Amino acid sequence: MEWGEPTCERLIAVATAQRQAEITLLICPQSRCTPRQWRARRDAVADAVSDLAVAEFHPAAGDPSEVSAARLPVLLRRSPDPLLQMVPQTSLRALSRHRGMLSPSEQAAVLAGVSSPPSDPREQIANANAATIARIGVSSLLVRLQDIARDRELSYARVGITAPSASPPLAPNA
């Protein structure tokens, strides 16, 4: 993709061209969009290419002062640059398909409390994310993201890419 601020039309064209990929990360280092503006571009891409699930990531995503189980995914969508993650809807549907009957030995293990019934992989990911944040803390996450943002700015400067400063504050009023 060319450098500069990506238009909705260009994002849609790239998404359309990449629709058969298992996963596409469309990184836009020179975008100066706010999280709300980036979300609007995500919505335009998702509406135009409905066979793709599209998630937006942004350097200023989420409010660290409002971390809850429901809001954690938004905070975890902070990235050094605005980016769109695109995955075919068919791939997501395959994750949630019924896995079939458990074998008699698997059923016995579940009933005996030795193992758990199969769970949705998306639920497993959400639980693992929540456990990690509970273990390391939000402030540690924000420091790590700040380190990544600093490294990004230095790396881009070395290769001549000018990008807006994307380092989000460590706290809402910092």
Each residue of 59-90: pLDDT tens digit?
988 887 777 777 788 888 888 899 999 999 99
The candidate with the shortest Cα–Cα distance to 57, out of 87, 10, 25, 30, is 25
d(CA 46, CA 133): 29
pLDDT of residue 74: 83
Residue 130 has pLDDT above 90, yes or no: no
Mean pLDDT in residue range 110-121? 79
Residue 121 has pLDDT above 80, yes or no: no
Tell me the two tokens of residue 119: 């769970």
pLDDT in tens, 146-173: 899 899 889 988 988 876 654 443 333 3
How many Cβ atoms are within 10 Å of 132's Cβ, its own excluded?
14
The candidate with the shortest Cα–Cα distance to 25, out of 64, 81, 74, is 81
d(CA 15, CA 20): 9
Tell me the two tokens of residue 78: 């902070």
pLDDT in tens, 10-61: 999 999 998 889 999 999 988 999 999 999 999 999 999 999 999 999 998 8
pLDDT of residue 37: 95
Crossing angle (nearest 10°) for helices 8-17 and 35-48:
50
Instruction: Please state whether beta strands 83-88 and 52-57 pair in parallel, antiparallel, or not at all (unpaired).
Output: antiparallel
Tell me the three state secondary structure of residue 164.
coil
Query: Do 22 and 88 touch, CB atoms closer than 8 A?
Result: yes
